[in-house]
Structure 1
Amino acid sequence: AGTLIRPLRLIMPLYDEEIYFVVRNDSPMKNINEIKDKVMSVGLIGSGTAQSATTLYRLMFGQPIPEQNAQHLSNEDALAALIVKKIDVAIIVAGQPAKLFTDMNPELLQQIRFLRVDPNAPETARAKQTYYPATIHVSSYPNWLKEDVPTWTVKAFLVTYDYNLRDTVGNLKRFADSLCTNF
């Protein structure tokens, strides 16, 4: 990992992306720490969602998601599978308000809900080693949520490779100057 990240250079932090743990309304689960050994969609293979979901699970429970429980579905397919009871949890990483939920059919939206972070769960303490606490706000989904939902967030960063070609360095410098001037 050190060899892979050594040539990368951080330009700037961009924004937070909340981690949504979505279940059916009829699910007995209330909190994120209850997902252990459930069948879940963790995002497409190689995606940031899959990386965040699997890392968070490993932190919380000290083991990887059992292979038979991990499905690699797109966000839309995960919600469809959730509603028809093919999976128990859909893990989705997106900034709020997430278009996926704001554009969703209101009848379907009423069939799902978010799990919450339990601040007293030991799994929460372990997740805090890497992930930041966040809140899914009612103001992001005013026609759906009745109260704010505590969750986790990941930070999105603008990163580049440590280029040393003169033209590339010049292009990156102009880009960085423009970004700082106009952001």
Structure 2
Amino acid sequence: MIGGGAGHEPCFVGYVGKGLADAVAVGNVFSSPPPDPIVQCALAASNGEGVLFVYGNYAGDVMNFEMAAEMAEEKGVRIKTVLTTDDIASSPIDDKDGRRGVAGNFFVFKVAGAACDKGLSLDACEIVTRKANSRTYTIGVALEPGSLPQTGRHNFEIGPEDMEIGVGIHGEPGVSRDRIRQADEIVDGIM
């Protein structure tokens, strides 16, 4: 089961299906789903073996999914959790647990879904998903600023010849700025 705020389409709803997630709970734009819908999804998705929660490392998601896990377990559903932590720009190299989940979410979701479809146990699915997460590293690059749908205002200003490196999933400013270059040059610079 996956989840998070709306406004990231096709994520999260677009990642439900064969070899992907069995259920998704979606909140308002850029806001975590509340615990109750998460619990309802977990109960609907449970086949008696338990449910694996996979979601990005954001305070609201962590709080609400943790509450939902407790509530679901009180109803007899075993829950395991994997937080996606792929964004290397959001936390120092020695603090992987502090990193956000951004574009790498999708790879981790796919691995989790494939492991579940293969019929692995809940514990084995958690192990495989954690391994995928531990080997997934991303950094966002933007040629234009993001904006909040509620206001339409840009989150930062950037010149037409510049790119922002390390942007967040909600369009937060990055950690550095550079001139626009070819994709292979950008990757070489990041590496």
TM-score over 0.5 for the pair: no
- Larger relative CO (CA 8 A, sep 6+): 1 or 2? 1
- Greater C-alpha Rg: 1
Instruction: Give the TM-score normalised by structure 1.
Output: 0.31
Instruction: Give the TM-score normalised by structure 2.
Output: 0.30
